[in-house]
Each structure stands twice: as structure tokens, then as C-alpha cells.
């Protein structure tokens, strides 16, 4: 490794090119993985030294090679991370550069040590107050950030803020970008584990000490204390001076998590997610690369960070579909995390109360070790689950809650306990139409109906974000006040509760209302202070929360997830309902769950009501085996899109016409995707279903590389797809 390299092959990041060869200039020493400045045409771009030798048949004579321009002052990407990048690109049929970009995910970090100027309020007043200045000063209370970031926070122009700086209302503060994080203390507050938890924690900690690849499935019912249990191996890794990565599915989870982490380790962990400020991002990235960041808690993008000495990964709520990235490189962070542990040689814990069938299958076949926590901590009982057959117990006309469910809420109200109603639909109603002419409001960019949001008086598309004010009259026939809402969303359910139980204090908990860590914290505090009686929420509230006074959970429409009917619909419904049911009765009071359905006989619903998880999983496993679906067979989809309908159709046809004939591999389509238009692009898809023995990625690469398309056409490959729209 210490051999001096004279020419190197570099992965150039900001270009759609394969690796390029460069000369190492006299006096420069590079290592594999080093991040370097590469000349490309008239520009200089970021590259990573990927190989020492050129591959045969590509020799550009040495005198024709251009020289590297310089080195970035950061540690080289370690060898196992480079292997992970290669594996990911290969497995998900993505370019190396697009995967490597996820590892170098902070442009600022490349520049080396630095300080920046941030600004904060001084408490002074401007000579002349304007509405804009006043609004800015209110919004910036307690904030400190760069002018540009403050302008985003306050919603005023940078010019307004510069004016305030000149007036002495804002003052500059020099900030060291790399100031160290406080040290986490593995023994800050040890908790007393139950025997069951202790046994599990010991298995994990021993594996951390072993420093070898060891994948675990931590299968514990809701409320069993999975977090407390996996905090022990986290502490063990810290004692050994190794880093830990905890992946969480959604950022809304972290408020609750951060609090528990701080209670256990005395400090906040290092956070990583998409809405970090660029300075925070840079600071975290550099601390990860230097080894100073001890525990990183992050969303899936944290997976490719260049840890110096990672010793453990925990994937919490590992069954969550949000670990699957649905654009760019379509990878599944849960699966790639296991590969990372494999390449680097350390244990990984996948924690869940409702593991993915794929993970259970891996445990079954002995590849993962399964560790169980079969009972709730502190003797709390799992809730009683019952179904309400909506065909028998019909809600009143124009309403959505059966009387038995409303009575259940009323009982809780009387006892001063809380209820949660779960419906995975934001907004007031999923469809809005004109009573007079039947006109339906559709998104101009997507094959989707617009969803009415009464709080904000807007119609919104949940796919592309398109928004318009709710019209006072029909767009089509001009009739005033004629819009009718069809079907319920959470806002409508909240209205219904308010109408039928006027004394109840109702809160709608969705990504619209809990859209920042601060809002989420306020919500938790309000529930804990019993200022809320009934929570009406989407899947955002199905996990992570621990409210001891919450004793009733109502599932408003358990059939919703089963519509559309992709092969994972049953599993997803099971997981979602089991998770939300797990919010009930977590304290000393017993919990009850009422599931509203039109199909109480469906195997998912029956298994939920009977609390018979094994029955559900084995039925589901057989169904997947018969269908050749994962984990028994494999799927991949190819999505062809363009802003031009004819162009998309033609490109899809050409791909379809050149389909390879491969044994044990079926190729369906092309057909218009169920979401035939998305964000203004027309979409066609092909679906492949193959036996595990087929080298599916090679087949796809060979096939697609033979066809050229007009520049407006995008061809996306999705290996092990979760989304079938």
C-alpha cells in the first residue's frame, strides 16, 4: 500500500463518466481512497483515487495523462467503504459516482478546518421599524445561523437582514466549524435491565467485543424495551473507543429518541439527516471521518458516512419501508447496512416488533441470529384487540366511526385517559368533487386526486406538492359552494370526534402539524400533560411514542392498506396495525384496540384480532413462495419516463422489444405505470420476476446498455422494489 503510485484511476464525482486515469505529479503522494482535485476539460472536479493500475486495453500513454491538481485535506475513504460503494452500485444497477456522492455528502467538509460567521439578535431595536423587520426579529428569536440560513428561517430577503446588521440588531459571531462534540459517557446512567433484556444485551455486547460480522434480528413486542436493550452494546462499543451508527426511519422519531439517549449517555448523539444546516452537516461529517463522532443517529443517508472506526450498527424499526430510497440510487438502507457490517467486520442489530418477512426468513435459515423479547417491560400487558365489522355496525350517515368506537372514547374521557385514532390519510378528504357537474379535482402534474386540507383551505397533491386555494366555485361549471368531500382524512375524523364528543380535546398529528422537532416536542409535552384527549394521526404516530395514559387505539379503516393490492400490502397492513396497537396500554393500565374493517375474515385482520403473528407470517410466507416473490424469488422494475407522453411510450416499447430471453426470468410490460403521470413526467414500467439463481443485475445492465434514448427520457432501475406505482 505504501508503494508510490505514478498513475491512478479516479472516480470522478460530478460527471456522468466512468473512472478516468490521471498522472500523479512529482512530489505528490496519494493513497487509495484519497479525495483529489481532478482536471476535467476546463474545470476541476472532485474525484476519489479508486485503483492504482489502469485496466488492460485502456492505456493512454503516460505523457498524454493530465496530472492531479491537489489533495483535499480529509482522510482517504477506507477500503471497506469503497467496497461497499462498489457493491451498492453493482447490486442496485447504479453508477459508482452516484453512490460515492452519498459518502462525500458534505461539500463543505472537503475544504478543511474553517470558521464561519453566524449572526444572532442582540436585543437592540432598529431606528426605523418596518413590518418586515418586526417579522424577522420575531422569527429569529433564539436562532443563530448564517445570513442566508436566517433569511430562510425568517422568510425575508438577505438585504433586510443586512440592514439589521448595520443597525446593530443582529451581531456577528465567529464559529469554529469543527468544535468538538461533548463526550458520550457509557456509564452515565445505567438502567436496571430485566432478566430477559439482560440476556439479550449480553449477547450483543459480546458480539461487539468480538469485532466480527454478526447480524442479529432483535424481535421484541412493542414496549419490551428494545431501545434500553440495544443501548448496552452501544455503551460497550463506546468503552472500546469504537463508533456507533443508529439508523431511524423518520426524523419525527428522534425527539423522543434523543431525550432517551441523553438520559442514558449524558449527551445528545451526533445527528445526521437531510435538513441539517450546511455547517452542521460539515461538522458532523468531519467528526465522523476523524472518529470523534461517537454515536451518530441518522436517517438512511447516514449509512454511507466515512466512519473511521465503526463498531456497531443498529437499525431501529428495521421493517420500515422508508429505509428504501425511492429516487436517485434506489437502495434499501437496511440491506446495505448489513453489507457494511459484513465488509467492515462488526455486529449489526435489526430491531423490530414486526420484522420484515425477508428478515425473518434470514433468521429462519440461520444467517441472522434471532434474539427475542417476548413480553412487555414492567409487566405491562399487550392490549386486547377486537374488530368492528363495518357491514354490521354501520356508522351514522356521513360519518366514519362506529358507535362502539365512539363509546370507547367517551369511556376514556370519563376516566381521564387518552385515545388514539389511526388513519393513514392526511388532509380532510381524499377526493373532492362538484355536486353539480361531478367534476373531480386532479393534480395537473400527477395521476392523482387533489386532497382537501381544511386547516389551510387548500387543495394539495401528496405526490408532487402542487397546491391551490380551495375554489369558492366549481372550476368546470361555475356553480358556487358546491364542493363535496368524498371519504375521510384525519381532519374529517377530528371534526367528527369534535361533533360527537364536544368536550374532547382533539389533536391532529400528521406531517402537516408535526413538521419540526420543536412542534413534535410540544406535542409530546401536551399529551404527557394530558392537554389532549384524542389524537387523530397518520403513520407518523404509530411508533416510538410512549404515552402511559393512552389506553384506546382505534384503527379507522384497516382495509385501506389492502387496496391497490401489491404483494406486500398484507404485510404492511399487519405491521402498521400491530405498531399502532402497540401504543395502547403501555403503562400500568390495560389497553384496548378496536379495528374497523369490512373484511374481518381477511387473514391479516383475523391474525391481528387473534394476536396470532405466527399464523399470519406463515400464511404470508406460503403466498410469497407460490408467487415467486421475495425472499424466494426476486423482482426488479424498470421505469421509463419523459415529459413527453409519446417519447416515454416509444422508449418503453423499444426496451420491451429488445427484452432478453433468460430462463427462469419473466419480464412483464411495458405498461403505463399505475401512477401514469408523476411530477409532470409520463411513466411506463416493466416488471421482472426471476429465480434467485438468475444474475438479474447482469441481465438488466446488458439489456439496457444496448439502447440509446433521447435526452428527455429517463430509465430508472429499481432492484427489490417496494413501490409499485
- Give the footprint of Zn ion on this chain (CB under 5 A): 443, 445-446, 461, 463-464, 466
Task: For residues 409 and 666, give the distance between their C-alpha atoms in angstroms, rounded to a whole number.
Answer: 51
CB of 63 or CB of 195, closer to ligand ADP: 195
214-309-338-11 Cα dihedral, nearest 10 degrees: -150
Kindly give, in sequence order, each residue whose CB lies less than 8 Å from that of residue 183, ignoring residues fewer than 6 positions away.
267, 294
Task: For residues 663 and 659, give the distance between their C-alpha atoms in angstroms, rounded to a whole number.
Answer: 12
CB of 68 or CB of 318, closer to ligand ADP: 318
CB of 74 or CB of 373, closer to ligand ADP: 373
User: Does residue 249 interact with ligand ADP by CB under 6 A?
Assistant: no
Min dist CB 67 to ligand ADP, Å, is 54
Query: Which listed option, Zn ion, ligand ADP, none, makes contact with residue 194 (CB within 5 to 8 Å by class)?
Result: ligand ADP
Bridge-based pairing state of the strands 270-272 and 170-176: unpaired
Strands (E), 163-303: 170-176, 214-220, 243-247, 270-272, 295-298
Query: Which listed option, ligand ADP, Zn ion, none, makes contact with residue 332 (CB within 5 to 8 Å by class)?
Result: none
CB of 656 or CB of 672, closer to Zn ion: 672
Q: Which of 68, 84, 193, 717 binds ligand ADP (CB under 6 A)?
A: 193
Piece of the chain touching ligand ADP by CB under 6 A; list 30-38, 216-224, 566-574, 659-667: 216-224
Task: For residues 285 and 273, give the distance between their C-alpha atoms in angstroms, rounded to a whole number.
Answer: 11
Piece of the chain touching ligand ADP by CB under 6 A; list 7-15, 189-197, 512-520, 527-535: 189-197
Task: For residues 35 and 307, give the distance between their C-alpha atoms in angstroms, rounded to a whole number.
Answer: 15
471-474-480-482 Cα dihedral, nearest 10 degrees: -100
Query: Which listed option, ligand ADP, Zn ion, none, makes contact with residue 446 (CB within 5 to 8 Å by class)?
Result: Zn ion
3-state SS record for 514-576 = CCCHHHHHHHHHHHHCCCCCEEEECHHHCCCCCCCCEEEEEECCCCHHHCCCCCCHHHHHHHH
Residue 720 CB coordination number (10 Å): 19
Min dist CB 446 to Zn ion, Å, is 3
Q: Which of 55, 153, 191, 206 binds ligand ADP (CB under 6 A)?
A: 191
CB of 228 or CB of 320, closer to ligand ADP: 228
| Cβ proximity of 673 and 723 under 8 Å | no
Kindly give, in sequence order, each residue whose CB lies less than 8 Å from that of residue 129, ignoring residues fewer than 6 positions away.
none
User: Does residue 589 interact with ligand ADP by CB under 6 A?
Assistant: no
Query: Which listed option, ligand ADP, Zn ion, none, makes contact with residue 466 (CB within 5 to 8 Å by class)?
Result: Zn ion
Piece of the chain touching ligand ADP by CB under 6 A; list 135-143, 222-230, 362-370, 607-615: 222-230
Query: Which listed option, Zn ion, ligand ADP, none, makes contact with residue 54 (CB within 5 to 8 Å by class)?
Result: none
Bridge-based pairing state of the strands 214-220 and 347-352: parallel
User: Does residue 196 interact with ligand ADP by CB under 6 A?
Assistant: no
DSSP code string of 688-715: EEEETTS-HHHHHHHHHHT----TT-EE
Piece of the chain touching ligand ADP by CB under 6 A; list 41-49, 186-194, 506-514, 566-574: 186-194
User: Does residue 298 interact with ligand ADP by CB under 6 A?
Assistant: no
CB of 223 or CB of 395, closer to ligand ADP: 223
CB of 542 or CB of 597, closer to ligand ADP: 542
According to DSSP, the residues that pair with 170 across neighbouring strands are 121
Min dist CB 548 to ligand ADP, Å, is 8
CB of 220 or CB of 408, closer to ligand ADP: 220
Piece of the chain touching ligand ADP by CB under 6 A; list 3-11, 59-67, 219-227, 495-503: 219-227
The angle that helices 333-344 and 79-91 make with each other, rounded to 10 degrees, is: 140
Min dist CB 204 to ligand ADP, Å, is 14
Task: For residues 357 and 346, give the distance between their C-alpha atoms in angstroms, rounded to a whole number.
Answer: 24
Task: For residues 611 and 615, give the distance between their C-alpha atoms in angstroms, rounded to a whole number.
Answer: 9
Q: Which of 19, 223, 427, 554 binds ligand ADP (CB under 6 A)?
A: 223
Q: Which of 9, 101, 133, 226 binds ligand ADP (CB under 6 A)?
A: 226
| Cβ proximity of 213 and 368 under 8 Å | no
Task: Give the helix/strand (H/E) hosting 99.
Answer: helix 96-103
Min dist CB 492 to ligand ADP, Å, is 30
Strands (E), 186-305: 214-220, 243-247, 270-272, 295-298
- In the block, which residue shows the cell 434500553? 228
Query: Which listed option, Zn ion, ligand ADP, none, makes contact with residue 673 (CB within 5 to 8 Å by class)?
Result: none
| Cβ proximity of 346 and 309 under 8 Å | no
Stretch 397-426: interaction string toward ligand ADP, x if CB under 6 A: ------------------------------
Dig out the grid coordinates for 193 from the structure.
435491565
Dig out the grid coordinates for 686 from the structure.
416493466
CB of 33 or CB of 471, closer to Zn ion: 471
How many residues belong to the site for ligand ADP (CB under 6 A)? 15
User: Does residue 352 interact with ligand ADP by CB under 6 A?
Assistant: no
Piece of the chain touching ligand ADP by CB under 6 A; list 200-208, 218-226, 339-347, 711-719: 218-226
Task: Give the helix/strand (H/E) hosting 151.
Answer: helix 147-154
User: Does residue 347 interact with ligand ADP by CB under 6 A?
Assistant: no
Query: Which listed option, ligand ADP, Zn ion, none, makes contact with residue 593 (CB within 5 to 8 Å by class)?
Result: none
CB of 337 or CB of 461, closer to Zn ion: 461
User: Does residue 265 interact with ligand ADP by CB under 6 A?
Assistant: no
Query: Which listed option, Zn ion, ligand ADP, none, makes contact with residue 220 (CB within 5 to 8 Å by class)?
Result: ligand ADP
Task: For residues 492 and 499, give the distance between their C-alpha atoms in angstroms, rounded to a whole number.
Answer: 10
Dig out the grid coordinates for 441 from the structure.
379535482
User: Does residue 62 interact with ligand ADP by CB under 6 A?
Assistant: no
CB of 448 or CB of 493, closer to Zn ion: 448
Contacting residues toward ligand ADP, per CB under 6 A: 191-194, 197, 220, 222-228, 377, 546
Amino acid at each position: 500500500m505504501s508503494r508510490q503510485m505514478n498513475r491512478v484511476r479516479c472516480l470522478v464525482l460530478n460527471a456522468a463518466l466512468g473512472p478516468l486515469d490521471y498522472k500523479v505529479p512529482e512530489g505528490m503522494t496519494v493513497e487509495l481512497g484519497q479525495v483529489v482535485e481532478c482536471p476535467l476539460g476546463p474545470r476541476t472536479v472532485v474525484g476519489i483515487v479508486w485503483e492504482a493500475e489502469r485496466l488492460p486495453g485502456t492505456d493512454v500513454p503516460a505523457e498524454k495523462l493530465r496530472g492531479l491538481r491537489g489533495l483535499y485535506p480529509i482522510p482517504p475513504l477506507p477500503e471497506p467503504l469503497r467496497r461497499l460503494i462498489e457493491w451498492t452500485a453493482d447490486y442496485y444497477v447504479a453508477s459508482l459516482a452516484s453512490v460515492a456522492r452519498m459518502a462525500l455528502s458534505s461539500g463543505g467538509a472537503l475544504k478543511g478546518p474553517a470558521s464561519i460567521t453566524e449572526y444572532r439578535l442582540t436585543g437592540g431595536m432598529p431606528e426605523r421599524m418596518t413590518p418586515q423587520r418586526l417579522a424577522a426579529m420575531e422569527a429569529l428569536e433564539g436562532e443563530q445561523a448564517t445570513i442566508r440560513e436566517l433569511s430562510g428561517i425568517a422568510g425575508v430577503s438577505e438585504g433586510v437582514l443586512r440592514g439589521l446588521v448595520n443597525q446593530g440588531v443582529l451581531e456577528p459571531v465567529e464559529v469554529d466549524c469543527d468544535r468538538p462534540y461533548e463526550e458520550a459517557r457509557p456509564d452515565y446512567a445505567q438502567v436496571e435491565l430485566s432478566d430477559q433484556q439482560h440476556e439479550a444485551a449480553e449477547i450483543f455486547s459480546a458480539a461487539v467485543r468480538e469485532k466480527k460480522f454478526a447480524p442479529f434480528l432483535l424481535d421484541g413486542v412493542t414496549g419490551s424495551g428494545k431501545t434500553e436493550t440495544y443501548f448496552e452494546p452501544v455503551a460497550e462499543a463506546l468503552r472500546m473507543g469504537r463508533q456507533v451508527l443508529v439508523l431511524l426511519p423518520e426524523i419525527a422519531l428522534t425527539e423522543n429518541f434523543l431525550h432517551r439517549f441523553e438520559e442514558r449517555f449524558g449527551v445528545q448523539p451526533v445527528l445526521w439527516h437531510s435538513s441539517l444546516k450546511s455547517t452542521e452537516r460539515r461538522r458532523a461529517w468531519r467528526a465522523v471521518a476523524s472518529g470523534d463522532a461517537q454515536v451518530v443517529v441518522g436517517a438512511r443517508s447516514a449509512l454511507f458516512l466515512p466512519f473511521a472506526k465503526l463498531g456497531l450498527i443498529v437499525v431501529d424499526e428495521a421493517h420500515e419501508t422508508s429505509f428504501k430510497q425511492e429516487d436517485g440510487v434506489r437502495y434499501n438502507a437496511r440491506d446495505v447496512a448489513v453489507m457494511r457490517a459484513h465488509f467492515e467486520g462488526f455486529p449489526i442489530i435489526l430491531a423490530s416488533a414486526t420484522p420484515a418477512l425477508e428478515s425473518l426468513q434470514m433468521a429462519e435459515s440461520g444467517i441472522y441470529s434471532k434474539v427475542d423479547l417476548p413480553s412487555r417491560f414492567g409487566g405491562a400487558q399487550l392490549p386486547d384487540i377486537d374488530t368492528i365489522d363495518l357491514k354490521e355496525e354501520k356508522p351514522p350517515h356521513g360519518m366514519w366511526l362506529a358507535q362502539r368506537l365512539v363509546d370507547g372514547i367517551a369511556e376514556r374521557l370519563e376516566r381521564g385517559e387518552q385515545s388514539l385514532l389511526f388513519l393513514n390519510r392526511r388532509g380532510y378528504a381524499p377526493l373532492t368533487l362538484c355536486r353539480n357537474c361531478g367534476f373531480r379535482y386532479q393534480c395537473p402534474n400527477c395521476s392523482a386526486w387533489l386532497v382537501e386540507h381544511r386547516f389551510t383551505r387548500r387543495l394539495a397533491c401528496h405526490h408532487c406538492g402542487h397546491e391551490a386555494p380551495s375554489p369558492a366555485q366549481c372550476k368546470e361549471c361555475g356553480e358556487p359552494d358546491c364542493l363535496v368531500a368524498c371519504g375521510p382524512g384525519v381532519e374529517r375524523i377530528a371534526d367528527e370526534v369534535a361533533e360527537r364528543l364536544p368536550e374532547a380535546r382533539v389533536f391532529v398529528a400528521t406531517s402537516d402539524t408535526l413538521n419540526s422537532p420543536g412542534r413534535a416536542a410540544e406535542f409530546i409535552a401536551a399529551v404527557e400533560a394530558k392537554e389532549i384527549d384524542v389524537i387523530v394521526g397518520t403513520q407518523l404516530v404509530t411508533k416510538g411514542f410512549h404515552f402511559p395514559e393512552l389506553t384506546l387505539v382505534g384503527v379507522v379503516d384497516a382495509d385501506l392498506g389492502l387496496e391497490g393490492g401489491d404483494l406486500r400490502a398484507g404485510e404492511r397492513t399487519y405491521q402498521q396495525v400491530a405498531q399502532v396497537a402497540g401504543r395502547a396500554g403501555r403503562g400500568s393500565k390495560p389497553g384496548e384496540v378496536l379495528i374497523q374493517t369490512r373484511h374481518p375474515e381477511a387473514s391479516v385482520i383475523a391474525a391481528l384480532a387473534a394476536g396470532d403473528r405466527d399464523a399470519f407470517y406463515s400464511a404470508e410466507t406460503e403466498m410469497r413462495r407460490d408467487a415467486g416473490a421475495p425472499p424466494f424469488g426476486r423482482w426488479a422494475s424498470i421505469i421509463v419516463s419523459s415529459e413527453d407522453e409519446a417519447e416515454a411510450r416509444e422508449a418503453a416499447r423499444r426496451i420491451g422489444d429488445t427484452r432478453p430471453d433468460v430462463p427462469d426470468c419473466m419480464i412483464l410490460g411495458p405498461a403505463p405505470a399505475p401512477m401514469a403521470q408523476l411530477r409532470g413526467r409520463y411513466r411506463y414500467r416493466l416488471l421482472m420476476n426471476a429465480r434467485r439463481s438468475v444474475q438479474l443485475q447482469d441481465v438488466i445492465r446488458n439489456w439496457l446498455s444496448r439502447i440509446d434514448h433521447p435526452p428527455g427520457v429517463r430509465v430508472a432501475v429499481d432492484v427489490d422494489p417496494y413501490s409499485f406505482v
